[in-house]
Structure 1
């Protein structure tokens, strides 16, 4: 296939939307898989006669693999080309999915989930970077606003899909459902996604950075997960070792003469620093709430996975509506205005959950989730557009990896931290479930206020478009 260059035209035409749809299939698979499988944890525990502690590694191993894979995505895209890396990542994810469906023990399932996670970690940043290069700075904002809604929909669609699959078929279909989507994505991408020349064929791989960053993140997340499980010794070792390795990576990244896996200096350059903080805290808030609400609905209210998905559906509807608004205004309104408005709406939609112990009705929950979804759609796409429209094309892949890493890490750390808070509040509230969840949501509000502070440093004006 011949190389095509990014079009300078302002119009988001049919071919570009088709490319966006194809690339977003990878993000869709990667983001929805975690929520689909989480619904089937109890079923998997029964199938493999595993304890809760053992079966939780099906989710934890996937998460750790994702965190491990994200940092390398920028170097891979720069060296090998975004389209090739994306196709290989889809193939790795599908291979992992098929093997998961064939698992014969909980150990084999965990190993194959690691393979799945390695592919899943590369897909979103590579797809975003590739799409940004194909679209060009003038069209990035509007096309990103369309695809950015997918991760917001996965927490809603995942429980519904998982509940429906387990109601109609056996547990292997939790993984086999990925195969037709992935095969279609590969076939469509080979035909319609253009080949772009790699931006840096000679860039050496940052081995020392990889040894420090990816394992450091994985160990840190593992340590925080063990805090939630009450394993003090493992938690102390994990958190301490993780922070030490990450500190070592920062020192290495600042001193190395080569190109670090992720350059710490990127975050000192406006507007990436403020954007990174916004995405980090947004990830903690969004994924933290995604962890808390389904758990509350099922443990506090006794809802099924299907019922939980239905009650969460307004958040997906709000995200879809918000993405339409962002698509129409992202090139007309200052990015800070959109993001600050979005954070404000997310905060307004979170405060009602601090009153769960007062018998919050389903109508109020639905309206709060609708507001949260609308606000979340106004944050992610404008923040990514701020970055992608202000950096050179050769920096896009690594910047995309950095942003996705922060969002993923924010989600991981936020979920682990809120799990610890919830455990503590359950003890303090003497197992009064609604009151414990209400207390925990005050921490989510605090994360939202921190994100709001970060967004005040975003640019007031729109970027000047480069030809």
Structure 2
């Protein structure tokens, strides 16, 4: 019997560092441009609504590309797929920095999003393969920190860049990171071989799933401007296309994303936890900046500084999880994390009572610790219990749900906030407080789902569930 290494050695940490560079670029770029709307509006003489497509186009491209990432890794190999995506993302970043018009910038952002959607799932699958079942939990405890930091530090980094340079540097900052990632990958990332036997591309599934997701996300993001006919029609069409994909996926031999995965424990419950986590994190990061800059009158930089404790908490939480993830039940860690997120969310339901900045910072610190205790254990449940041949497809599905969770949380909070602002009238702080009660409700839903997660692991159980 061949023993499985359990120590995370320097070689594996180098692999993790290289792969996390890709995730860092993709996730940070989804939020770093948010503070550049005014600069882009002035540069291209466009309205804020038109400039918003720089962000919306990127997001739509990401959700379009994520489902195909598993097939690409199976067909061409994990490392080749990841390195190609990094190179394409870096090239698109350069083109964005050189954009001569707003339509050109939007087109290059779409290209950037198509590459960015492949990076996190392809990187996670490569990392899970390199680490193996016994070590993936400890590595994920650190790597999973990156997506938690992007909604916090993205606007802060964007504000710092615009304070010292012009708008093209919002995109040019990716160039040295991308070049370094490609060079390091050739030396530190083991090649993920293509899958045995060439699986045909699921054309019908792709025509239903990727456009359906894009239309759904378009409808969700349009809800921020009011619940008019356009978002309702887009959401309805998107849901219909996704239902059609599920029916197709249940019949197809090798669907783009296998719907049957979500019916197999613990994948289904883990997926629910990631959706709720994404909705809670991004929903809060949508509401708080609006409140701090609108109701409190803080600048973008001061707002970013006040939000930073959530990133500090996430770092502390990831270090704690790294020490106990191999010895503690995933359900225990996730339930503790959900409880901390709930404790950190509760003070925001009292924003109308002139909550001090210190209390906001402390609450965000607690939320950050809790969020870090959810993401890594949930992904570890899946990646440590699934056969290696299915890693790319599973990573694609998990990242897809996390992205949708963020979009759903933002759209839900936008609708709730608009309704409560209308109801509250001259008291906007009370409207924001009302919206955070909904965030707290999402956390409760996550807690109910977390109770269904696996109990303490055993080697025998891992062996029994390895073919999930």
Q: With structure 2 as the length reference, what TM-score do the two structures score?
A: 0.96
Which residue number corresponds to residue 232 of structure 2? Answer: 236
**What CA distance in whole angstroms lies between the structure 2 residues aligned with 1:439 and 1:288?**
13
The offset of 1:426, in angstroms, is 1.3
Q: Are the equivalent residues in 2 in contact too, given 1:331–1:462 (CA < 8 A)?
A: no
The offset of 1:432, in angstroms, is 2.6
1:463 to 1:130, Cα distance in 2 relative to 1, 3 A:
farther
**What CA distance in whole angstroms lies between the structure 2 residues aligned with 1:107 and 1:286?**
31
Q: Are the equivalent residues in 2 in contact too, given 1:386–1:463 (CA < 8 A)?
A: no
The offset of 1:227, in angstroms, is 2.2
For 1:175, which of 132, 150, 171 is the aligned residue? 171
Q: Are the equivalent residues in 2 in contact too, given 1:12–1:143 (CA < 8 A)?
A: yes
Does residue 215 (structure 1) correspond to residue 211 (structure 2)? The answer is: yes
**What CA distance in whole angstroms lies between the structure 2 residues aligned with 1:226 and 1:320?**
33
- Secondary structure of the corresponding residue to residue 134 of structure 2: helix
1:463 to 1:291, Cα distance in 2 relative to 1, 3 A:
farther
**What CA distance in whole angstroms lies between the structure 2 residues aligned with 1:407 and 1:424?**
26
1:431 to 1:19, Cα distance in 2 relative to 1, 3 A:
farther
**What CA distance in whole angstroms lies between the structure 2 residues aligned with 1:163 and 1:456?**
40
The offset of 1:225, in angstroms, is 2.0
The offset of 1:34, in angstroms, is 1.8
Which residue number corresponds to residue 250 of structure 1? Answer: 246
Which residue number corresponds to residue 335 of structure 1? Answer: 330
Which residue number corresponds to residue 3 of structure 1? Answer: none
**What CA distance in whole angstroms lies between the structure 1 residues aligned with 2:275 and 2:369?**
19
The offset of 1:110, in angstroms, is 1.0
Q: Are the equivalent residues in 1 in contact too, given 2:227–2:415 (CA < 8 A)?
A: no
Q: Are the equivalent residues in 2 in contact too, given 1:41–1:56 (CA < 8 A)?
A: yes
Does residue 85 (structure 1) correspond to residue 81 (structure 2)? The answer is: yes
Does residue 261 (structure 1) correspond to residue 256 (structure 2)? The answer is: yes
The offset of 1:177, in angstroms, is 0.3
The offset of 1:156, in angstroms, is 2.3
Which residue number corresponds to residue 194 of structure 1? Answer: 190
Which residue number corresponds to residue 358 of structure 2? Answer: 363
Unaligned runs of 5+ in 1: 1-5
The offset of 1:7, in angstroms, is 8.8
Does residue 444 (structure 1) correspond to residue 435 (structure 2)? The answer is: no
For 1:386, which of 365, 377, 381 is the aligned residue? 381
The offset of 1:13, in angstroms, is 0.4
- Secondary structure of the corresponding residue to residue 32 of structure 1: helix
For 2:416, which of 416, 421, 424 is the aligned residue? 421
Q: Which runs of 4+ in 1 moved over 4 A?
A: none
For 2:340, which of 345, 359, 366 is the aligned residue? 345
Give the total of aligned pairs.
461
Q: What RMSD over aligned residues (CA atoms) do the two structures have, in Å?
A: 1.4
Deviates more, 1:283-292 or 1:373-382: 283-292
Deviates more, 1:199-208 or 1:21-30: 199-208
Q: Are the equivalent residues in 1 in contact too, given 2:21–2:181 (CA < 8 A)?
A: yes
**What CA distance in whole angstroms lies between the structure 2 residues aligned with 1:242 and 1:220?**
4
The offset of 1:53, in angstroms, is 1.2
Q: With structure 1 as the length reference, what TM-score do the two structures score?
A: 0.96
**1:1-400 correspondence to structure 2 within 5 Å:** 8-230=4-226, 232-256=228-252, 258-400=253-395
